[in-house]
Structure 1
């Protein structure tokens, strides 16, 4: 085996250390939180059947955060012994005395902490031998290179495995633990034809190794996507319907996540500032957050402050229902934390339409327009909602792909783009914390030549 691990032994040792350092924290008469984390990682990459990189790591660290009379300070270290964590507590207490008072800085509400009353299945450990992983990435590479003669090279196939143990404690005598696994397999192909070259990649991720796509599929997919981009053209500037492919449609909702983050709200730096309980999407679109989804890539029982996560409606029939708040941003807004210190938890984008269309059906519905398969750059202004990003994809005519397209910009305002969503297909992509299908949007500005 490449390496062995005993998380139960780690958990027992870390819990003992946590109990001791929390006792020390209380003796110093300050409030605080301590996180201990250990991550095991295997990574291997292959190119032309030759293993060019293997990485094995076992990374452990702790973070101490002290709240001392409305002052907050943190100390990080990769030593998790009791004595070292206690030293970090001492350092953080000293540091806090030099920080300006902020009346909104406080420890999370004890009543909101996770109460050990739920479980989720996100831990699926598996042992690997070097031979097994080598065979896996070589299969991916083989099917990438042998898919078609137009595939002239590969940038490699990569496999990664993460085993993660996190234990969080606070001076309220609260301790929470979570163990998880994460697997990743990818391929990147380079295709050439008539002097043109393109590259594209395909990947699969899962909590359970058994849920990864077959290596043959991953290799063929990257090759197929690279070949499809060859001999691309530019298109004229126009206003046109657009389909954002399910591979990248989640990016349209990352902008929503940024715009309803509590820090953007209390700083009044979001275009959605006055949009709570107002319709910002079509009345048939819903976004449900499920932190307890089995095997979910963003499933969590508690956030980075120990606050229990909750299932909630983010968008209900097109209406914005909540901000995303940690303790500090919630305090600034004089409301309760939503348990979003550290991110979101499995957003499920859905429609309440009775008939859900296939991808081919929304191509037919669009009839003529631009299918976006890649977006580039960060041209999104969360203060105004203005949107401008580079894109490539395919031109659609009579519901069929006609030719690949490059060198265009998709632009508009997010509120207009969201409200102009006509339909979702049924090709939901689960390889992300935001699970979404392909999206058809009407009347989008496309800048070409």
Structure 2
């Protein structure tokens, strides 16, 4: 029996006891979620290890339904006394809530029955010294990239592996072993009376799938150096090209608009928008919970409901929301298995060709703004009004002329989504989302 199988067996036994205690205490339904993990983290800053940590974490969350009311409590004590205390706390917490017809557990017919192998568990058996040496390689690569890179805000390498469990009194029980590894680098470039911080990172389920530390350091350094000498541009209306990593942020706005919580609260202009034309017809958005080694791959969500391989946007039309069980019941819709969020979204265009890399997208932009980074908030999801600070480059005749900073970009999300002229083949993956660069026909630039 492997280490994670031994841990999983213990967690399953503890979950079973907790549900027995809850039933004896009058719970009509019980859900038990457990996560046990070990993580190692090293941060290197200017060739000094400023963080070295090894942590073990464990948390059990018990949710009970009693008299039509739902409440939860958390603990890390798996002893019989500890389990009784957390159950009693959850039961007591129901007194402070109101009956809610949407609060119950998933029906048995809604629960996941098939559990494909997703290859999510790749623990790394490295010492903190090994991890620190890996981080130092990224910082060295960044510092060696150019004479203007003279300092670092740090390189962090983190590796974590663990086991998650979900069990319900409705008969569902499943454990998932998983791992996640990451590297992030933030060098500092110095210019004439200024400094700019670059940032680049990568994450993966298997450590060997990460970008090399030299690649991460070099990209981060290029981004810092490229921002030196940034200036404002005149206030104007112009086309905007969002590089792929910035485009993922726009995709996150769509997910927020189409999430069950926003729809239930009436805080989204997409409520009632299924089958409406949201993007131009060439735009497609797919979701796949079952990508092997995917950072957002899952066989089931927080209620035990399986996700779906599906088209969220098809030929520009919105085809689905992101619904956990509770929000789906509140909206009188079918849950989509998104209780933990979206699964491996991929935005694409039927018009994109293999040669449509970032250089080709800049040629298509011809004259306008490239956005590499957005800062601050400023999105009204009910109206769609969008305004954020931005950094990037000004492009003339399809080529970068100078870096831009200290500006705002503004529009309306409906207009932005509807104004997507092209999506590049320069796709990048950030957690749960994959997208190429977006070319939007026009946005208001607030500068000088």
TM-score category of the 2 structures, normalised to the smaller one: over 0.9
Distance in 2, matches of 1:282 and 1:82, equals: 58
Note the C-alpha offset of 1:126.
1.8
Residue by residue over 1:334-392, the C-alpha shift from the partner in whole angstroms, topping out at 9 and shown as x without a partner, is: 22211111211110111122635121111111110100001011101001000000101
**Residue of structure 1 equivalent to 2:366:** 367
Contact persistence 2:181–2:207 (CA under 8 A):
yes
Query: 2:395 maps to which residue?
Result: 396
Question: Are the aligned partners of 2:390 and 2:407 in contact in 1 as well (CA < 8 Å)?
Answer: yes
Cα distance in 1 for residues equivalent to 2:115 and 2:157 = 35
Could you give the per-residue CA deviations for residues 222-280 of structure 1, whole angstroms, max 9, x where no partner exists?
Answer: 11111110011110011111000112211111111111112222332211123111110
Are 2:35 and 1:16 equivalent residues in the alignment?
Answer: no
CA distance in structure 2 between the aligned counterparts of 1:296 and 1:148, rounded to whole angstroms: 35
Measured in 2, the distance between the counterparts of 1:81 and 1:311 equals: 40
Aligned to 2:41: 43
| Counterparts of 2:96 and 2:147, CA distance in 1 | 65
Query: What is the match of residue 265 of structure 2?
Result: 267
Map residues 12-411 of structure 1 onto 2, 5 A cutoff.
12-29=9-26, 30-353=28-351, 355-356=353-354, 357-411=356-410
Measured in 2, the distance between the counterparts of 1:229 and 1:436 equals 23
Task: Specify every segment of 5 or more residues in structure 2 that has no aligned partner in the other structure, as ranges.
Answer: none
Moved more, 436-445 or 77-86: 77-86
Partner Cα distance (2:79, 2:393) in 1 = 56
Could you say if the C-alpha distance between residues 9 and 117 of structure 1 is closer, same or farther in structure 2, counting changes exceeding 3 Å?
Answer: closer
Q: What whole-Å deviation, never above 9, does each CA across 1:44-94 have from its counterpart, x for those lacking one?
A: 011232212101100001001011121011001122334312321222223
Deviates more, 1:375-384 or 1:219-228: 219-228
More displaced 10-residue stretch of structure 1: 25-34 or 202-211: 25-34
CA contact 2:185–2:199 (8 Å) conserved in 1: yes
Q: What secondary structure does 1:162 align onto?
A: strand
User: Is the Cα–Cα contact under 8 Å of residues 370 and 395 in structure 2 kept in the other structure?
Assistant: yes
Cα distance in 1, alignment partners of residues 205 and 211 from structure 2: 12
- Relative to the length of structure 1, the TM-score reads 0.96
CA positional deviation for 1:208: 0.7
Provide the C-alpha distance between the structure 1 equivalents of 2:34 and 2:80, rounded to a whole number of angstroms: 11
Distance 1:347 1:354 in 2: 17
CA distance in 1, matches of 2:267, 2:236: 31
Where does the alignment leave 5 or more consecutive residues of structure 1 unmatched? none
Q: Distance in 2 between matches of 1:269 and 1:62?
A: 31
Residues in 2 aligned to 1:33 and 1:230: alpha-carbon distance in whole angstroms: 53
On the 8 A contact 1:248/1:374 being kept in 2, the answer is yes
Deviations 1:285-314 (A, max 9, x none): 111110101111111111111111221211
Partners of 2:177 and 2:321 lie apart in 1 by 28
Aligned partners of 2:124 and 2:159 also within 8 Å: no
Distance (Å, rounded) in 1 between the aligned partners of 2:265 and 2:57:
36
Q: Distance in 1 between matches of 2:185 and 2:287?
A: 30
Task: Find the aligned partners of 1:302 and 1:446 in 2 and give their Cα distance.
Answer: 43
Report which stretch shifted further, 415-424 or 74-83.
74-83
- How far did 1:118 drift? 2.1
Q: Which moved more, 1:411-420 or 1:125-134?
A: 125-134
